Chain A
Amino acid sequence: MNARRRLLALLLCGLPFGALAQGFAGLGTTAEGFAIPERGRALTFPADHGPHPAFRIEWWYLTAPLTGEDGRDYGIQWTLFRSALAPEERDGWSSPQIWMAHAALTEPDRHHVAERLARGGIGQAGVTAAPFAAHIDDWQMTGTPGKGIDQLHLTARGKDFAYDLRLEASGPIVLHGDAGYSVKSPKGQASYYYSQPGYTVTGTIETERGTVRVSGQGWLDREWSSQPLAEDQRGWDWFSLSFDSGDKMMGFRLRDGGPGFTSATWIGSDGSAKPLPDGALTLEPLETTTVEDRAIPTRWRVVLPAHGLDITVGAMNPQAWMGTSFPYWEGPVTITGSHTGRGYLEMTGYE
């Protein structure tokens, strides 16, 4: 399986096999022939809910901290990646579009992961903007016709878990950065980035322990680009936090040799979004856990003075490791400190 995993990792980077070290570093490359995000281009919906084949990489990324009727905390992840080997779409096997999806169900003591891969062009995976429908194999994120992405039906299943959830958005779509143009480094690498952070989630999850009714809050991220990382950036720490106060915050740090590059968006309970520049957000690891032979920070201090935020964010299950073609850490978190609430944390590039 190793040969295939490595092959996939390289495929998704769109680079010659074996030409670079494994991992996310490959994302930081030039975008020959691919479209580049432009500042000032207005996002239009529902069209931009659909795929952008001219861009190298794109994702539909949904996370939701949940609580079960059994009183236990859970979390689910549903992610569909699109990776283009060439900036075009063709019918049949010769399509250069590759699809990959990850699904996860996190319990306090267990973490279930599944991965799917598909070639574009044959109908095994794809996304349509209106009516909105994203699928790979039998996993799907389907919108109610006429309602854009406000009402979603979300399913996925793996060897030892499955979920079937209904999502209902209660606020507007949030554009990050400059009206959806999100800068990723001081050198100007950027992506298009918008979110729907305010879903109310209900449905069922299933493991070998049985089926549990769950409810909670969901957060959808949409991002596409052709060169999301700078050459020296090695990975990121990304937070989506929903506070009990009704406020929300998206924040990330791109790690490099130095202090890194941070970015955040403060979302008020009314849905208003305030982008914050590099340096406004500070992230400090407090505690690491050994996961898969590497040290992963699983408790963080998150400070955003502009909004009086000084919190500790801790992993619900520190072993929420995504042992997929790209390995990374992703799982639900609990917030304490100046604010309380729940959220999701993703950490990539830890070797």
Chain B
Amino acid sequence: MTRWAFLALLSHWRRQPLQLVAMILGLALATGLWSAVQAINAEARASYAAAASRLGLSQGPTLTSPDGTIPSDTYVALRRAGWQLSPVLEGPIRLGGRTLRLVGVDVLSYPALPDSSALSGIAPLDVLTPPGRLFASRVTAEGFDGDPRLVLSQDVPAGVVLTDIGTAEALLDRPGALSRILVLPDQPMGLAPLADLAPQLSLSSPSATSDAAHLTDSFHLNLTAFGLLSFAVGLFIVHGTAGLVMEQRRPLFRTLRALGLPARHLTLLVLAELLTLALIAGLLGLVLGYLVAAALLPDVAATLRGLYGAPVEGGLTLRPLWVLSGLAMAVVGAGLAGARGIWALVRLPILASSGMALRSVASGLGARHLALAGLALILAGYLALRLMPGLTGGFVMLAGLLLGAALLLPLLVDACLQLCQRRAKGPVAQWVWADMRVQLPGLSLALMALLLALAANIGVGTMVSSFRLTFTGWLDQRLASELYVRAASDEQGAAIERWLASRADAVLPLRSAEITLAGQPGELYGVADHATYRQNWPLIASEPGVWDRVAAGEAALINEQLARRENLWPGDTVTIAPDWTLTVAGVYSDYGNPKGQVMVSIPALVAHHPEVPNRRFGIRVDPAKSEALARDLRQSFDLPEESIVDQAALKASSLAIFDKTFVVTGALNVLTLGVAGFAILTALLTLWTMRLPQVAPAWALGLTRAQLGRLELCRSLALAAITALLALPLGLALAWVLLNVINVAAFGWRLPMYLFPADWLRLFLLALIAGGLAAALPARRLHRLPPAHLLRIFANER
């Protein structure tokens, strides 16, 4: 019985292959975009975790010093007191034209060495004694793969060069210095407390998540939000189709029930069918997601490395986490989409009047109820932001705003159509508008999808473009020097400074130290007292005489991130070290940097951190002479090509990093819009069988099929246009939230909002194209329809 009943159920798909395609493709698209985002996130997170565990970054408690350097004598003293420790010395190193992170460890005590396969054939002596060996992954080693010290090891995270501590000491020129000391898990009994033995050091127990994971949380949250949006848009397709399929099979269900199939049994069969479809679509979606993720991942990896310094490899591996999450989403999605139909099936009476599925007027109770629910959602989102400020509240508000607006859409579109209908003159026009109102309930899900996709496009596009405009202006202010030079050593730095004194208008030393600010990693910069800064530095808040006070060592400048995070503004005080507190005299914008930053005068910096290297300089010179000066400088000091960068190149590379950051966003935007277009197509196709009874009388009354086809196209274009117009205010609201709520919470900076009407026009046209393309097929079908098919409408009971 089961088998035959199941076959009878499945026979529907043979007659309606398009519905099957819409169902599976819709679910696959939804699952695909979702799992693509999940795959990217999972990959990135796995990279952080791997990096953290491989490098021992989060392997338990770590000793650090407030000034960033621990003498190795302290390490030996603690060892002689019995503590089991492992020293680490790390710092930036220029290799192959890039700045990489050199991590020097004591290979005897370090708890997370690369796998021994990387070590085979290498004499320990070579690792432990000069010139040493440098372990790096293939990705990292690009650019210096000819170095005889290089040993390739896939265990070393991207961007990191691992070496013995002795080698690191020499390369970083920091003899006798350590960056931090790991406290190993197994300690002997009866030790004296570390706080007594080394009161100058602070013991921090890193949280379960590494720095990278912490810093990039907001980025991943953004991606996840986008993934959910794509999934919702995809679900609209499935929901519409599933509803129709259930509706059309009602007579079949009744027949099966009448033939003695128990209701429970039938429901289970339909559920089984739904599950099968979901799994097939889910698997397809996973393949799709894998391809999308593989295509996008290199850019995401570049972004994460460039913006956050977070180590992410470019390769994608199949991870159970996102495979399962993708399949689960497909099943849940299918369940959500089919829930109403199945609920109706459970309560289906065997005998029923042949209820007409057609609804004549859209503005019925349904649309009004939806609109009320939409308003409630928007209100709830607003309240969420008030009640829980920060990133979560921001995203809840966004969700409320977007979903609420989507639910409001049917009523608003219907109102527009009603207006148009009233103003329509001819009978055809009047009929077309009225007919669109009839069609609206069937199309509103697809239109909601289009609305969301368009609003997301406008919102995210406005944010990115505003950000870019601000960022470009900020770069102009921030990169005021014509040339930037990097010396190999402090001695060379001093020599360069002397050499430049007579040749350049000004030499501005760029010196910095890594410190801990309010418990998080931060940076301390020294700023020279020079007009370059006074005129150009992008201050967003300041006290009078800010530069004089900073130059006098009385006050400090802090970046916007730190100011917003710790709520420090001019007049407040900032603690740079336990014994060093300064008044905040100004706050400057500092995009693309997740860390807090403090700027003090160079004498103040050197007084507290005499060890900070003096190797980087900004050079002010007549732009016309900068190229010649760079050439002279290179020759005089035998500097490698990459040691001197001119302003234009630096700006270009900064903008390139910026643009890469949003490649993914752009790609997801386009994909979402594509899905929305597809949603309209499937909605129109599934409505097809219901369309004929509506257009056939008009045809019988004297309209040609060509006219009907053209009108069909116009209808779709008009609906797309109305939706696009409604999407504009929603998109701008979205952009406002992104710029003023999400960005502040996620990155710590507030950005001015700029409007880009040309982009809106482009999107409007895109929406029309999507609507037009979606309607092209049904319109063509109508145009070519044999009259006999239309005549059937008059002859038979439907």
Contact = CB atoms under 8 A, between A and B. Distances in A.
A7 to B, nearest CB: 6
A117 interface: yes
B169 A93 contact: yes
Contact of A17 (B82, B120, B128, B175): B120
A155 to B, nearest CB: 10
A100 to B, nearest CB: 9
A66 B121 CA distance: 45
A160 interface: yes
A18 B120 contact: yes
B166 A138 contact: no
Which interface residue of A3, A90, A157 has the most chain B CB atoms within 10 A? A3
Contact of A14 (B81, B125, B176): B125
Contact of A85 (B114, B122, B128, B189): B128
Nearest to A122: B76
Contacts of B79: 118, 124, 137-138
A220 interface: no
Given A14-B124, A96-B129, A118-B108, A162 B190 contact: yes
Contacts of B82: 137-138, 157
B16 interface: no
Contacts of B110: 4
B339 interface: no
B130 interface: yes
Contacts of A98: 108
Contacts of B189: 157-162, 206
A299 to B, nearest CB: 33
Contact of B116 (A7, A96, A159): A7
B388 interface: no
Nearest to A100: B108
A8 B108 contact: yes
Contact of A157 (B80, B175, B176, B190): B190
A16 interface: yes
B638 interface: no
Contact of A124 (B76, B114, B188): B76
A7 B188 contact: no
A86 interface: yes
A93 B164 contact: yes
Contacts of A124: 76, 79-80
Contacts of B129: 85-86, 90, 94, 96
- Main secondary structure, interface of A, reads loop
Interface in A91-116: 92-94, 96, 98, 114
Contacts of B81: 138
Contacts of A337: none
A11 B106 CA distance: 13
Given A94-B166, A117-B109, A162 B120 contact: no
B188 A3 contact: no
Nearest to B78: A137
Given A7-B107, A98-B108, A138-B80, A19 B121 contact: yes
B208 interface: no
B164 A159 contact: no
B121 A16 contact: yes
Contact of A93 (B84, B125, B165, B186): B165
B273 interface: no
A16 to B, nearest CB: 5
Interface residues of B, number: 41
A15 B125 CA distance: 9
A82 interface: no
A117 B120 contact: no
Interface in A322-337: none
Contact of B188 (A11, A18, A92, A157): A157
A85 B84 CA distance: 24
A184 interface: no
A52 interface: no
Contacts of B115: 3
A166 interface: no
A7 B117 CA distance: 10
B166 A17 contact: no
- Main secondary structure, interface of B, reads loop
A7 B121 contact: no
Contacts of A122: 72, 75-76
Contacts of A138: 79-82, 188
A158 B190 CA distance: 9
Nearest to A8: B108
Interface string A7-50: 11011001111110000000000000000000000000000000
A114 to B, nearest CB: 7
Given A92-B175, A93-B164, A162-B188, A86 B125 contact: yes
A8 B164 CA distance: 14
Which interface residue of B82, B124, B187 has the most chain A CB atoms within 10 A? B124
Interface in B118-172: 119-125, 128-130, 164-166, 169
Which interface residue of B81, B82, B169, B176 has the most chain A CB atoms within 10 A? B82
B188 A159 contact: yes
A94 B128 contact: yes
Given A92-B175, A93-B165, A161-B189, A6 B116 contact: yes
A94 B119 contact: no
B119 A7 contact: yes
A234 interface: no
A224 to B, nearest CB: 19
B163 to A, nearest CB: 11
A8 B130 CA distance: 19
Nearest to B130: A94
A159 B186 contact: yes
Contacts of B113: 3-4, 7
Contacts of A4: 110-111, 113
Which interface residue of B72, B107, B108 has the most chain A CB atoms within 10 A? B108
A17 B108 contact: no
Contact of B119 (A18, A117, A162): A18
Contact of B122 (A6, A16, A159): A16
B109 A92 contact: no
A137 B190 contact: no
A255 interface: no
B165 A11 contact: no
A118 B82 CA distance: 12
B478 to A, nearest CB: 39
A185 B121 CA distance: 29
A18 B187 CA distance: 30
B188 A93 contact: no
Contacts of A16: 120-123
B129 to A, nearest CB: 5
A176 interface: no
A162 B125 CA distance: 34
A8 B119 CA distance: 12
Which interface residue of A7, A14, A15, A98 has the most chain B CB atoms within 10 A? A7
B119 to A, nearest CB: 4
A248 interface: no
A135 B80 contact: yes
Contacts of A15: 123
A14 B126 CA distance: 11
A227 B120 CA distance: 23
Contacts of A162: 188-190
Contacts of A135: 80
Interface string A251-290: 0000000000000000000000000000000000000000
A3 B130 CA distance: 23
Contact of B124 (A10, A117, A118, A160): A10
The 10 closest A-B pairs by CB, nearest first: A93-B166, A18-B120, A138-B82, A17-B119, A85-B125, A157-B188, A11-B124, A3-B116, A117-B108, A94-B166
5 contacts: A11-B108, A16-B122, A92-B169, A119-B106, A137-B80
Given A11-B108, A157-B188, 19 more contacts: A3-B113, A3-B116, A3-B119, A7-B116, A16-B120, A17-B119, A86-B125, A90-B129, A92-B166, A92-B175, A92-B176, A94-B130, A96-B125, A118-B79, A123-B76, A123-B80, A124-B80, A159-B187, A162-B188
